Structure 1
Amino acid sequence: MRVLISVDMEGIAGVVDRADIAPGSPEWALAREWMTDEASAAVRGVLAFDQDAEVLVCDAHAKYRNILPQRLDRRARLVRGTPRPHDMLTGIDSAVDAVCLIGYHGRAGTADSVLAHTISGAVISSVRIDGTALGEIGLSAALAAHYGAVPVLVSGDDTVAAEAEEVAPGIRAVIVKWARGGHAAENLHPAVASERIEQAVPEALAARASVRPPRFAGPVDLEVDVRRPEMTERALLIPGMERRGPCTLGFSGLGLPESYGLVGVIADLAGIA
């Protein structure tokens, strides 16, 4: 069995504020430890289910250099650094059997969700694939399913659990904190959060046949809403990109992996504005 563990930071137990996730801040230094420990817990859970499994951990926050390599379970391999293909899900291919999403957060616009956003909170207000609004949970689940991998588990706050069930019915959710606003939460102790993740992963892998992830066949239609009209200008230099509204960019004809990658390109170009 081959399992990919994608690890973001906003949904980690204890993380509630932008200072917690900003590289270089004292709070980020602590959050890196919590993030690495939750990733290691997921690794242990995979190997409890299948001791011969190949486990790849993908650092999926900011510039993808947050997880502490020396602190991570040594039985896993770690993907870190950017730029790279498939961004938050680097390592996904047809050989991967299952995907775990650790430390994920709600999509942009989710009320009372801790640090909710989609790809870039400063730039993007919505992403739609064939008319379906997807946050990072949905995009990652859809990309996993495209390659035949099952998104079996997600961890984060209670709004994450609700969103995950909406986009991928049957996925197992581990709630490590309860949102009390966009920058506040009732948190489990980091050690307890890790314990719950470790216990849930084998159960999620055993039940993977019951998950119904989002699937998009063939070329898809991508729409991205940015926050200000001037943010569309540089993205419109991409051949084939359309302006469909003052703040809406559209692109048709690409497959799901290419459309997934294009969202990140739009975020980078529009962010220059």
Structure 2
Amino acid sequence: MKAFISLDVEGLPGVSSLTMLNPWSSQFERTVRVATKIVNTLIEELSNNGFSEIIVADSHGLMTNLDYSEIKGNAKIIQGYPRPLSMVTTLDSTFNASIFIGYHSAAGTVHGILDHTMSGRTFSEIRVNGVRASEFLLNGLYSSENNVPVALVAGDEYLEAEVNSFSPGTVFVPLKKGVSRYSAINPSIEIIIDQLRHRVREAVKRLSEGKIGLISLGKPYVVETVFRDSLIADVVESYDKFQRLNAYTVRFVAENARELIGLIELLAMVGYGVDALKNSIK
């Protein structure tokens, strides 16, 4: 069998500060150690339960959050940014399961630790068919359109309700619980590793029994992106694909999840460009 792992870090245990999120941050090496330890646990447990091929998409920020030299077992690692489809690069119908690790709640979640959706710099909220969307939901739709069930999600406890709502067969593993945007309660790493091993085995069992279905939200997808800066809406409103609703919000329609993620990534890039432009004005 073949598994796809998408790794984010804001939902990892022990990650509770902006000082831990980027290579230039003072405590980033702590995040790398935790991420690598957890990914190695998943690789080992999946390998012991019938998965002969494992792809890990390092998917936070610059997407270089794993210590490649420490990765064990029969996995291949995707690193680097930007890249097509962002957090689900290379995920296709040849996989038997997808697994989302270190995921966090959607932008706008009360007490969600480091909550955002796709780009915290660009978006204050993203809604799909009227539903406030997290990265789990966006990537889960893409996985499901490729007929790959999301077998396991692990991350901030505030994400669990959304997972249960849209993918009730998916196994959820709480890795932490947000207290505020920059604070969380974290179990010990030993407890987390033990829970992950147990829950991976449970997810594989559910998968083999056909108890994990696909996520569906109804197509086409009507998407509303709420920007943090009205200048981003100023830039994109002249394109027919985007309908401006107010100072901060544009709407577009996507026929499938590939187009949905692609357009969100495009808008995020516009947001980065606007931010760089503002910072360059002296």
Classify the TM-score, shorter chain.
Answer: over 0.9
Q: Is the 8 A contact 2:43 2:73 kept in 1?
A: no
Q: Is the 8 A contact 2:138 2:257 kept in 1?
A: no
Tell me if 1:130 matches 2:129. Answer: yes
Deviations 1:3-31 (A, max 9, x none): 10000000111001111112222311111
SS of match in other structure, 2:68: coil
SS of match in other structure, 1:210: coil
Tell me if 1:10 matches 2:38. Answer: no
Tell me if 1:68 matches 2:52. Answer: no
Cα RMSD, aligned residues only = 1.7
Deviations 1:26-51 (A, max 9, x none): 3111111101111111112211210x
Displacement of 1:238: 4.5
* AA partner of residue 242 (structure 2): M
In the alignment, which residue of structure 2 is the partner of 1:157? 156
Tell me if 1:207 matches 2:195. Answer: no
Single out whichever of 92-101 and 200-209 deviates more from structure 2. Answer: 200-209
SS of match in other structure, 2:103: coil
Displacement of 1:217: 5.5
* AA partner of residue 142 (structure 1): L
SS of match in other structure, 1:137: helix
How many angstroms apart in 2 are the aligned matches of 1:255 and 1:163? 20
In the alignment, which residue of structure 1 is the partner of 2:230? 229
Tell me if 1:23 matches 2:23. Answer: yes
TM-score, normalised relative to structure 2 = 0.90
How many angstroms apart in 2 are the aligned matches of 1:232 and 1:115? 24
Q: Percent identity between the aligned chains?
A: 25
> Which consecutive unaligned segments of at least 5 residues does structure 2 have?
275-282
How many angstroms apart in 1 are the aligned matches of 2:178 and 2:136? 17
Structure 1 stretches of 4+ moved >6 Å: none
How many angstroms apart in 1 are the aligned matches of 2:224 and 2:178? 29
Q: Is the 8 A contact 1:235 1:270 kept in 2?
A: no
Shift of the 263–185 alpha-carbon distance from structure 1 to 2, 3 Å rule, reads same
Shift of the 272–149 alpha-carbon distance from structure 1 to 2, 3 Å rule, reads same
How many angstroms apart in 2 are the aligned matches of 1:44 and 1:220? 37
In the alignment, which residue of structure 2 is the partner of 1:94? 93
In the alignment, which residue of structure 2 is the partner of 1:272? 273
Displacement of 1:63: 1.2
How many angstroms apart in 2 are the aligned matches of 1:53 and 1:235? 45
In the alignment, which residue of structure 2 is the partner of 1:250? 251
How many angstroms apart in 2 are the aligned matches of 1:85 and 1:216? 23
Tell me if 1:172 matches 2:171. Answer: yes
In the alignment, which residue of structure 1 is the partner of 2:34? 34
Shift of the 6–13 alpha-carbon distance from structure 1 to 2, 3 Å rule, reads same
How many angstroms apart in 1 are the aligned matches of 2:21 and 2:41? 20
How many angstroms apart in 2 are the aligned matches of 1:142 and 1:6? 14
> Which consecutive unaligned segments of at least 5 residues does structure 1 have?
none
Alignment length, in residue pairs? 272
* AA partner of residue 44 (structure 2): R
How many angstroms apart in 2 are the aligned matches of 1:78 and 1:236? 38
1:189-200 aligned at under 5 Å gives the runs: 189-200=188-199
Q: Is the 8 A contact 2:154 2:172 kept in 1?
A: yes
* AA partner of residue 134 (structure 1): A
Q: Is the 8 A contact 1:219 1:256 kept in 2?
A: no
In the alignment, which residue of structure 2 is the partner of 1:46? 46
Displacement of 1:191: 3.4
